[in-house]
Amino acid sequence: MHFVLYSRSYCHLCDDMLEALQALSGEYPFTVEVIDIDSDNELVAQFDELVPVLFGQKKGANSVQLCNYFLDEGKVRGFLAQS
């Protein structure tokens, strides 16, 4: 499983979401890629006021937007539990 967290460097909500997600790493194997949207104008246009935005992807499947602003732990756990 792989997560992509669209974030920005000065965003405390982004830091909070990453920390909450990483707290689940002891229970589930996954990787996390953090992308700073301010490095890409298209990402700013897409996610500007929505960050943090978390997408999950299972091997061979399309990515799915799971939550934004705050980690939806129930939704993320449900995603991780699905095979």
62: its two tokens = 């399309």
- pLDDT for 82 equals 85
Start-to-end CA distance of the chain, whole Å, equals 10
Per-residue pLDDT of 15-46, as tens digits, reads 999 999 999 999 999 999 999 999 999 999 99
Distance CA 17, CA 76 (A): 11
At 43-82, the pLDDT tens digits run 999 999 999 999 999 988 899 999 999 999 999 999 998 8
Q: Please tell me whether residue 55 adopts helix, strand or coil conformation.
A: strand
Which domains does the chain show, CATH number per domain? 2-81 (3.40.30.10)
pLDDT at 83 over 70: no
